[in-house]
Amino acid sequence: MKVIRTICYFTRDPGVKIIERLADLSRRLEARDFTVQTQRVCTERLTIEEAERRISSIRIGVGPISLATAAEQADNLCRARNAYFHIDCTDDDIGLDHARLLQRIIKSCAGKTFNVAFSFRSPVSSPYFPCARYEREGFSIGLQPTNLATGVSTLDKWLNCMRETWLEIQATFESESDFLGIDSSVAPHIGEGCSLVEALQSAGISFEKAILSDTFLRITDFVQTKNPNPVGLCGLMLPCVEDKHLAELYERGEFSLERNLFLSLQCGVGIDTYPIGIDEPAESIAAVLRLVQGLSRKHDKPLSVRFVSDGRAGIGDHTDFDNPHMCDVVVRRL
C-alpha cells in the first residue's frame, strides 16, 4: 500500500486557493493509487487565532516561535481546533521556564501536547508536524513508508520499494513550479502494518538486534542519498506511542529515553510522542531539553522533543489519551 502521510503547502497567505490546490494535488496522487491521509498548511508570522481564521478545516502550523511567543499563544492553542507549533530552542538558555510552559499546557489542555514540540536546528519545508518550518512558497510530500514493507523479505527490498515510490511521486510533480520535494523520512503510525518494528520484522530483522547493528545507519543513508528530490528531515522517526510496537517496548522498559536518543544520533530526529507523567519534576524536563539541545549542537543535526500527556496520568498510571493516533501506556519516569 502506498500511503502519503501528508501533503503540506507552505505559504504566507493561507486561504481558499491553498485548500483548492491541496485538493487537486491529492486527487492526482489518488489517481495513481496512493492513499492520502492528511492535507496540511504551514505558515509564518501569523498568530494561532489569525491562522485559524483563514484556514480552520485542516491542520495548520504556525511555527517556529520563541518561548515568549509560545507562552503568549498557549491559551489560543487550547482553544484552537487544528493548530500546531514548535518552539525553536536551538540557541535558548534552557531552564525551568521551558519546562513550566509544557506543564502549563498539560494542566490546561493536555491533549494539545500532541500539537507542540521543542525543536533544535529544524530544517525547512518538512511536511511533518509539529516541526514544519516555512522558507518559501510551495508544497512538499511525506510518506508513511512502513506500509511498503508488507510482503518484503529483506531490508534492501523494502528500501527499493521506497525508492520506486519516490520516483513515481517525482514523475507526477516534477513539472510543477511549486513542488519543493519529498521528505523521505520513515514515519511509523499506529495502524496495522504501519509500525517500524513490524517493517523490520518483515525484512527479517528484529528491532532488538537492529539496535546494535548498522541497520538504522543503512536506512538513513538510503533515505538521504537515494531520494530524487530530498527536502526536510529525511530521517527515521521513532514516535513512541504512535507506533503500537514501540509503545509495547516502552511499557516493558525497552524503549527508554536513553535508547531513543542513542538511535536518534544514528538516524532519528529526536524524542517524539513520548509519555510524561503529570508529576514529572520541571527540573527533569529541563535537563532532557538541555541534553537534546547539546546533542543537536555537538552533532549538527536536527532533533526535537514532543512529550505527551493526558492531563491525569502520573508516573506509574495508565494513560487515557482519547486520541486515535496514540496508544495508551503505563507512564514511566523520564
pLDDT at residue 17 tops 90: yes
Nearest Cα to 130, choosing from 243, 239, 268, 30? 239
Contact residues for 46 (Cβ-Cβ < 8 A; gap 6+):
14, 54, 62
pLDDT at residue 161 tops 90: yes
Give the whole-angstrom CA distance, residue 159 versus residue 261: 23
Average pLDDT value for residue range 57-82? 94
Average pLDDT value for residue range 220-238? 96
Average pLDDT value for residue range 236-255? 96
Residue 37, pLDDT score: 95
Banded pLDDT at 266 (limits 50, 70, 90)? confident
Average pLDDT value for residue range 228-237? 96
For 261, phi then psi, to 5°, come to -70, -35
Give the whole-angstrom CA distance, residue 326 versus residue 8: 22
The percent of residues above 90 in pLDDT, for the chain, comes to 96
Residue 192, pLDDT score: 81
The answer to whether the peptide bond before residue 130 is cis (omega within 30 degrees of 0) is: yes
Calculate the average pLDDT of the chain.
96
Average pLDDT value for residue range 302-316? 98
Average pLDDT value for residue range 209-216? 94
> 32-45, pLDDT tens digit by residue?
999 999 999 999 98
Residue 181, pLDDT score: 98
Residue 311, pLDDT score: 98
CB 246 within 8 A of CB 239: yes
Residue 309, pLDDT score: 98
Average pLDDT value for residue range 270-281? 98
pLDDT at residue 193 tops 90: no
Give the whole-angstrom CA distance, residue 202 versus residue 208: 14
Mark residue 194 as left, alpha or beta (left: phi above 0; alpha: psi -120 to 50; beta: remaining). Answer: alpha
Please report which helix (H) or strand (E) contains residue 304, including its range: strand 303-308
The structure's pTM equals 0.95
pLDDT at residue 92 tops 90: yes
Average pLDDT value for residue range 61-70? 94
The percent of residues above 70 in pLDDT, for the chain, comes to 100
CB 5 within 8 A of CB 187: yes
Beta strands in 11-137 (DSSP E): 34-42, 59-61, 83-88, 116-120
Give the whole-angstrom CA distance, residue 106 versus residue 331: 14
pLDDT at residue 75 tops 90: yes
> 95-108, pLDDT tens digit by residue?
999 999 999 999 99
> 119-138, pLDDT tens digit by residue?
999 999 999 999 999 999 99
Residue 59, pLDDT score: 95
> How many CB atoms sit inside 10 A of residue 214's CB?
10
pLDDT at residue 56 tops 90: no
Average pLDDT value for residue range 218-231? 96
> 196-207, pLDDT tens digit by residue?
999 999 999 999
Banded pLDDT at 258 (limits 50, 70, 90)? very high
pLDDT at residue 316 tops 90: yes
Give the whole-angstrom CA distance, residue 329 versus residue 247: 7
Average pLDDT value for residue range 176-187? 97
pLDDT at residue 267 tops 90: no
Average pLDDT value for residue range 289-313? 97
